[in-house]
Amino acid sequence: MLPGAHAYGNAAQWQVGFSGTCNVPTLCGPLGGGTGTFGLGGWCDFSGSNGSTALGTTGTLGDCQLAQYARTDLGQPNNPVHLAVDITGWTIMPNAFAPGLSFHITAATMECTGPGAALPPTLFSGCSLPPGGDTGIPAAAGHFSLSPFTGYHVSVQVTQLP
């Protein structure tokens, strides 16, 4: 058996890749109404813990890179944003989005770039962490697919490294 690859440095205990799209314009449009689509993709690593998957486990290091976009028609994306998150604290807590536990960012600095970085923060625009820092990333190794409504798909791959 080959050892796990540490793609984000030798300290990483968890490596995560994720993507999501919503491609039904009548269901995926702006929250205030209208039509549109959106998507996101990125990766995170979490480290600085005892390696446990238990509720309350804390860590002191991590990194996330995320790109997101929205568009109001089938043309070019409107106001894409890139988020670079330097995590200095995280905790495994109950997942607000699905059953089970997830990684919650408790301390971090964030840099946002791109045309949408100056917009007010919403789910798919502007620059902010999720409510309560809950990433929605399961604190368990495996592949996870979620489709909460027609046209919206999220895939997450979580790898726990030795």
pLDDT tens for residues 115-142?
Answer: 877 766 665 556 777 778 899 999 999 9
Cα gap 30→27, rounded to integer Å: 9
Q: Residue 107 — very low, low, confident or very high, per pLDDT cuts 50/70/90?
A: very high
Phi, psi (rounded to 5 degrees) for 88: -120, 0
pLDDT at 153 over 50: yes
CA-nearest of 96, 103, 105 to 54 is 103
Pure H helices in the chain? 25-28
Which of 128 and 22 is assigned the larger pLDDT? Answer: 22
* Mean pLDDT across the chain: 84
The pLDDT of residue 79 = 77
pTM score > 0.75 for this model? yes
| Average pLDDT rounded to a whole number, residues 67-93 | 85
Distances (CA, A) of 17 to 1, 11, 24, 119: 23, 17, 24, 26
Which of 43 and 24 is assigned the larger pLDDT? Answer: 43
Q: Are 137 and 44 in contact (CB under 8 A)?
A: yes
Tokens representing residue 20 in the block: 């999501």
Residue-wise pLDDT tens digits, 25-41: 888 776 666 677 888 99
Q: Are 129 and 105 in contact (CB under 8 A)?
A: yes
